[in-house]
């Protein structure tokens, strides 16, 4: 086989290779690492940010960014918790009906926010960085106002809690949701005209427009998609801790974007696959779990995570240069 082909193949699958190496090394170091319980723990923990990462992949492929994802996690959680706490007493409806109403309200709020992001970026040519940074603070403030600055705990019905703590066999429900979202995103981005339009818009927005692609529609789809995935992650998180709080999701945008970039998605747009994001999510989960097992200092863990992200960007640049 040609040396260049071997090099390109290694660069194309560098995260998969590193993931396998880390798993092998940790299985030799710790007998507790490669167990069903620990593997399920990794999947459950990574499901929350992983679900958002697939939406972020769509956004970044379209050459955009969304920094508000953490605040949407907080906002959706407190909306549902507040509905569950207050509506039964005010209207006499059951907690289940109140919870469903809260879920609907959170979804509507997410759709509106996604459309606002797309509209502000497309119609006024505002940088998505600025638009979503502003909405990060707006939604954080709204979450604090709705929750009145305190967690709203123990208000959810039992069936809602299963979204976060339930299991089917040995597999946690959040892990199943993560896989389901991956499959849906993979199908959309790989086999639909919507996915191809998103890649085209991210690759060259003017060429996409001249080709007849509705650029605004593509932007609306990606911004709404990531907001809805934040809502889903919020439900899982709130269900795990039986609480809604304005502090949930703070700083998640960094971990989400890291997983996407580590998975090979280009911040310049037009390049990236849900499979790569899945590998990035799993890689970060395995590394964090390994550092926890090895009792690595929490501050040192941040150093490692930052170094991994920088390494991923370097590998992407080397890959691009090698193929050119």
d(CA 309, CA 302): 11
Indicate the number of domains in the chain.
Answer: 1
Does 3 map to a domain? no
Q: Is the pLDDT of residue 2 over 90?
A: no
pLDDT band at 324 (very low <50, low <70, confident <90, very high): low
Give the tens place of pLDDT for each residue, 242-265. 999 999 999 899 999 999 999 989
The pLDDT of residue 270 is 93
- The CATH number of residue 167's host domain is 1.10.3470
Does 6 map to a domain?
Answer: no
| Inter-CA distances, 54 with 26, 109, 182, 223, 264, Å | 27, 20, 7, 12, 13
Q: To 10 degrees, what angle do helices 298-323 and 252-262 make?
A: 40
> Rounded to two decimals, what is the model's pTM?
0.94
Task: Report, in this order, helix, strand and coil percent for the chain, each rounded to 5.
Answer: 80, 0, 20
Of 9-13, 52-56, 133-137, 159-163, the one with minimum mean pLDDT is: 9-13
- Non-local (6+) Cβ contacts of 275 within 8 A are 186, 263
Q: State the pLDDT confidence band at 312, using cuts at 50, 70 and 90.
A: confident
Locate 112 and state its tokens: 């509106």
Q: What is the pLDDT of the chain when averaged over all its residues? A: 93
Let me know if residue 225 belongs to a domain: yes
Query: What is the domain extent for residue 86?
Result: 14-25+33-323
């Amino acid at each position: 086989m040609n040396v260049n082909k071997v090099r390109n193949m290694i660069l194309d699958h560098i995260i998969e290779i590193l993931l396998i190496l880390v798993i092998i090394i940790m299985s030799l170091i710790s007998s507790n690492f490669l167990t069903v319980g620990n593997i399920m723990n990794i999947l459950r923990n990574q499901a929350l940010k992983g679900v958002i990462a697939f939406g972020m992949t769509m956004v970044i492929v379209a050459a955009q960014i969304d920094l508000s994802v953490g605040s949407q996690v907080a906002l959706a959680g407190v909306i549902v918790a507040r509905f569950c706490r207050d509506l039964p007493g005010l209207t006499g409806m059951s907690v289940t009906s109140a919870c469903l109403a809260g879920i609907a309200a959170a979804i509507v709020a997410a759709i509106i926010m996604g459309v606002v992001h797309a509209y502000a970026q497309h119609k006024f040519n505002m940088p998505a960085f600025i638009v979503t940074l502003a909405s990060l603070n707006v939604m954080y403030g709204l979450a604090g106002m709705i929750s009145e600055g305190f967690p709203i705990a123990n208000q959810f019905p039992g069936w809602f809690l299963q979204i976060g703590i339930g299991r089917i066999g040995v597999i946690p429900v959040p892990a199943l949701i993560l896989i389901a979202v991956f499959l849906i995103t993979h199908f959309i981005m790989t086999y639909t005209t919507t996915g191809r339009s998103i890649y085209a818009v991210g690759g060259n927005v003017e060429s996409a427009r001249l080709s007849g692609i509705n650029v605004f529609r593509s932007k609306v789809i990606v911004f709404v998609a990531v907001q809805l995935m934040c809502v889903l992650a919020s439900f899982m998180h709130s269900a795990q801790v039986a609480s809604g709080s304005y502090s949930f999701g703070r700083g998640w945008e960094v971990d989400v974007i890291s997983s996407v970039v580590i998975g090979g998605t280009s911040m310049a747009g037009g390049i990236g696959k849900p499979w790569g994001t899945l590998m990035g999510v799993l890689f970060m989960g395995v590394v964090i779990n390994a550092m926890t097992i090895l009792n690595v200092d929490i501050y040192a863990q941040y150093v490692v995570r930052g170094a991994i992200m920088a390494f991923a960007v370097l590998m992407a640049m080397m890959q691009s240069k090698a193929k050119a």
